[in-house]
Amino acid sequence: MDRPRRAAGRPFRPRCRSRGRGHGTYPSVGMSEDDDARAGSNANVEVARLFAEIGDILEIKGEPPYRYNAYRTAARSVAGATERLETLFEQGRLRQLSGIGSALEAKIVEYLSTGRMESYDSVRRDFPVALASLLQVPGLGPGRARAVYQELGIATLDELEQAAREGRLREVPGFGPKAVDTLMANLGRLKQRSSRQLISDAFVAFAQVQEAVGATTEADRVAIVGSVRRMQDTVGGLDLLAGRDTAEEAEQLIATLVRLPNLVQVLDRSADEVTVQLYGGLEVRLTIVPREAWGSALVWYTGSRKHVERLEALARARGWRLGPLGLEDDASGKLLEREREVGVYERLELPWIPPELREDEGEIEAAQAGTLPKLVEFGDIKGDLHTHTNWTDGTDTLEDMAKAAKARGYQYMALTDHTRNLAMTRGLTPERLEEERALVTRVNHKLAPFVVLLGTEMDILSDGQLDFPDSVLESLDYVSASVHTGFRQPRDVMTARMTRAISNPLVNTLNHPHGRIIRRREGYEVDMQAVIEQAASGGCALELNATPDRLDLNGTWARRALGLGARFTVSSDAHSTSELDFMQFGVGSARRGWLTAADILNARPLEELRVVLRARSQG
């Protein structure tokens, strides 16, 4: 969460932070069993925690992914619910929650009736809940986590580190000297891991706030500010702004926030600010200002510290003072502007600067020179070029995915199921791909003029060759390629591997180029500059993957690649119909990268896209 800046004429109240973690300790994830007392009788928080922990333990036990993922999906759904479970139960609407079927509904009812969940007690008899913390260690995995517990009784990260230092891990099969060294390096990185949250968590929390507040007029709206409005990859929390004129109005809004269904604790509360912690650790901070100060407060609380300091300097040069309550003449105290955000920028002789650019990374200079780009907007996106179905590791049928994409206003989507090398996803063979081709034909006939492009997410093999021969790729409408294995290759090997793959003119796009998964896996070692240069010179697009825990490329790298002449796609990597909504986060990354619609392939109508794809394959 962005740190508040001291405003002239307004006392600064330090925020009460949740109990911190000192240097050298491991970051916590979600709630621990010690959080029970703080959660009190909040059923949403407790059921979400129980479902999440059941999922963790099932993964450690080696259960199939569909089993533990079902519990994790249910945990996210309950945690994100905008109503209390008791209300949903009384009204017979528990199954309206995404991922809640009859079996999980019965478990919720059991908890609401008895305060316990027998299935949770059952799985805990085999493994302690704390053992799930070992899954945070990159490369450890459920099998090794299970082995160190069964062989050495290790259930926590501290115990794991101690065993590694004492040499006891070598007693466990699979832990040779190199594996232990890698583990120690990963533990070190884990200690330094940021406690920042996924931006999608903030959007879920905002939806809960909106639901709790109810319908509002423009004057009574609650708005996102801070790092979430700037669409950063990760966020320290959710900063909200509201305009209210009386103490009674402010208190009514604050009281609404502290009654959110998944509230864990109130961290700070005053007459015009409140900070709460929600299940999963996200902090939500609401600041209330007079309605007339709406515009200046948006400027003040949205921009990064450096961006706002630049604006303050521009104001001082004119004998003015900028604060959250307005832009005023320093000598007379006369208010010059505070009602309109755009008006504040205009007074400083600047055009309105899009929130995603407010980082003091050249946007002030570009605004002064009149060279700010017209950034891509969500409405510019004509289709999604990275989607999966239940033919591999997706959860929905092709027809359902296509209908959902069409309902979002898209002209097309590319079906990009995995290929045979990624066996864990039931990757397609060329023969199964032909079966899928027939299905695409039927769906296209049914949903015309909407078009499903038959494509693939082609595995890049360890030597840079592709999982299918060119004869198969030539028959496809769209080819994207990804690294899904061999993440630990040396930098030069990985660089050569990726550049070889994208040198094939049949490859249209390189997906999630860094391979990172935020908070879970660092990107692989690669000379990304060299990869981008190869992609730009050969016309291979670079994906801005919109999945919230990827966001890869991010805005910083997209801007760098733009300077090297690259072109891009922005795609959801959706594995279900609901995940098509991830597109908004990819567009946010694109805007942070200063991209326009002209820079993005899938901002083009279908026929223009086909021309570009053909030119690449024939080049």
Structural domains of the chain, with CATH: 33-191 (1.10.150.110), 195-289 (3.30.460.10), 304-372 (3.30.210.10), 378-618 (3.20.20.140)
CB-based contact 420:428 (threshold 8 Å): yes
Q: How high is the pLDDT of residue 192? A: 66
What is the pLDDT at residue 16?
Answer: 32
For residue 347, what are the CA distances in angstroms to 310, 321, 341?
14, 12, 10
% of the chain beyond a pLDDT of 70:
93
Q: How many Cα atoms sit within 13 Å of 287 on the Cβ side? A: 25
Q: Are residues 424 and 433 in contact, defined by beta-carbon separation less than 8 angstroms?
A: no
pLDDT for the residue numbered 2: 60
Q: How far is CA 153 from CA 29, 59, 163, 307, 548, in A?
A: 22, 18, 10, 51, 35
Residue % of the chain over a pLDDT of 90: 73
Cα distance between residue 190 and residue 503, in whole Å: 35
Instruction: Note the pLDDT of residue 194.
Output: 61
pTM (two decimals): 0.84
Q: What is the pLDDT of residue 22?
A: 37
Contact 239, 202 (CB under 8 A): no
Per-residue pLDDT tens over the stretch 87-146: 999 999 999 998 899 999 999 999 999 999 999 988 888 888 778 888 878 778 888 888
Residues paired with 235 in a beta bridge: 197
Q: Are 489 and 527 in contact (CB under 8 A)?
A: no
Residue 41 makes CB contacts below 8 A (sequence gap 6+) with none
Residue 34: its pLDDT value, please?
Answer: 41
Strand order in the sheet with 326-329: 320-323, 326-329, 335-337
Order of strands, sheet of 283-289, starting from the edge strand that comes earlier in the sequence: 222-225, 238-243, 283-289, 273-278, 263-269
CA 201 to each of CA 117, 273, 291, 512: distance values in angstroms, whole numbers, following the listed order = 26, 21, 28, 21
Radius of gyration of the chain (CA): 26
> Tokens in use for 44?
């949403």
Sign (positive or negative) of CA dihedral 208, 212, 217, 219: negative
Q: Which residues of the chain have pLDDT under 50?
A: 3-23, 26-40
At 518-565, the pLDDT tens digits run 988 889 999 999 999 999 999 999 999 999 999 999 999 999 999 999
